[in-house]
Amino acid sequence: MKKIIKNDRYKAILFLVMASVLWSTGGILIKAVDWNPIAIAGSRSLISSIVVYLYLRKPKFTWSKAQLGGAFSYAATVILFVAANKLTTAANAILLQFTAPIFVAILGAWLLKEKIRWYDYISILAVFGGMLLFFLDNVGGGSMLGNALAVVSGFFLACVTISLRFQKDGSPVETTLIGNLLTFIVAIPFIVGGLPDLRSIIAIVLLGVFQLGIAYILYALASRHLSAIETILLTVIEPLLNPLWVFLFAGEKPSIYAVLGGIIVILSVTIRGIIVSRESVAENDMNKTEVS
C-alpha cells in the first residue's frame, strides 16, 4: 500500500512538472500568432474546452454564483494574459501575473474573513515593490499598458482561486471548462473577422491542446497526491521557463528592471507559500493530537 502511495506521489510530481513546462510555452506560442489577442484567447479556449470535456466526460455543473463567478474571472484572466503578451514582454506578462497569490491574501481577508498574518504583510509590500520596478523602466505606452493588463490578469486569477474556496464541491476543471466556453463566446466577433495564416493556426492548436487543455488535466490529477509545498515549488517552473523560451526562440530580452522585479516577486510568493504550507501542516498535526 505504501509503495502504491509513493508511486502515486512520484507520478503526481512528474505530472505537475509536465503541466508547468506546458504552461510555460504560452509566451512563445502567443508571440508566434499574428492575430487579434481576443481572437487568440477565444480560439485557444475553444480547443481547450473540447480537450477538457473529452477528459471529464460527465462534468458536474452546479451553476452556483461561485462557479459562474470563477468562470467569468477565468475568462478575464486568459483574455488579459494573451493581450498582455502582445503588448509587453513575455517575462513581464508572466511575472506580473504571478502576483496572484498576494491578491488572494488580500481578497481572502476581505471576502472570506481570513486573517492576514505578518508574513502576508511583508510579502504584499515586497511584491508591490517588485511590481514597481516593472513600471519604472523606460517603456513605451504599449508596454506600460501590457504591464497593467498583466497585473489585472493576476488579480482575476486570484478571483478564480477565491471562487473555488466558496465551492465546497467545486472543481477547478469544471470552472475552467465554463470559463473557456465563455472566452470563446466573447471572442466570436473577433474570430469571424478573418482567420490568421497557417503558422498561427498551428500555434493556436498547440496552445489549446497542450498549453491549456492537457496542462490543466495534468494539474488536476497531480493536485490529488501532492502537498501544498510541493505544488508551490514545482509551479514556479512556469514563470522561470516562460521568458527563457521567448529569449531562446524569439530573442526577446527582459530589461534589468524586469529581472530584478521578477526575482523579488518569485522569491516573495514562494517563501510565503512555504511558510503557509508549514503552518498548515503544524495546525493539522496539532488538531490530530487534540482529537487523539
Convert the pLDDT of each residue in 168-217 to its tens digit. Answer: 666 778 999 999 999 999 999 999 988 899 999 999 999 999 999 999 89
Q: What pLDDT sits at residue 8?
A: 79
Q: What pLDDT sits at residue 228?
A: 63
Cβ atoms of 106 and 52 within 8 Å: the answer is no
Would the pTM count as exceeding 0.85?
yes
C-alpha span between 90 and 250 (Å, rounded): 10
Q: What pLDDT sits at residue 255?
A: 86
Domain ranges of the chain: 2-291
Convert the pLDDT of each residue in 150-179 to its tens digit. Answer: 999 999 999 998 888 887 666 778 999 999
Which of the pair, 139 or 224, is modelled with greater confidence?
224
Convert the pLDDT of each residue in 50-98 to its tens digit. Answer: 999 999 988 989 898 989 999 999 999 999 999 999 999 999 999 999 9
Q: What pLDDT sits at residue 286?
A: 60
137 has pLDDT over 80? no
Q: What are phi and psi of 240, to 5 degrees?
A: -80, -40
And the C-alpha cell for 194? 478573418
Q: What pLDDT sits at residue 220?
A: 84
pLDDT band at 274 (very low <50, low <70, confident <90, very high): confident
Convert the pLDDT of each residue in 221-270 to its tens digit. Answer: 887 777 666 776 788 899 999 999 999 999 998 888 889 999 999 999 88
Q: What pLDDT sits at residue 169?
A: 62
Convert the pLDDT of each residue in 91-131 to its tens digit. Answer: 999 999 999 988 988 888 888 787 888 888 999 999 999 99
- Average pLDDT of span 23-38: 96
Q: What percent of the chain has pLDDT over 90?
A: 57
Query: What's the chain look like in SS3?
Result: CHHHHHHHHHHHHHHHHHHHHHHHCHHHHHHHCCCCHHHHHHHHHHHHHHHHHHHHCCCCCCCCHHHHHHHHHHHHHHHHHHHHHHHCCHHHHHHHHCCHHHHHHHHHHHHCCCCCCHHHHHHHHHHHHHHHHHHHCCCCHHHHHHHHHHHHHHHHHHHHHHHHHHCCCCCHHHHHHHHHHHHHHHHHHHHCCCCCCHHHHHHHHHHHHHHHHHHHHHHHHHCCCCCHHHHHHHHCHHHHHHHHHHHHHHCCCCCHHHHHHHHHHHHHHHHHHHHHHHHHHHHHHHHHHHHC
pLDDT band at 284 (very low <50, low <70, confident <90, very high): low
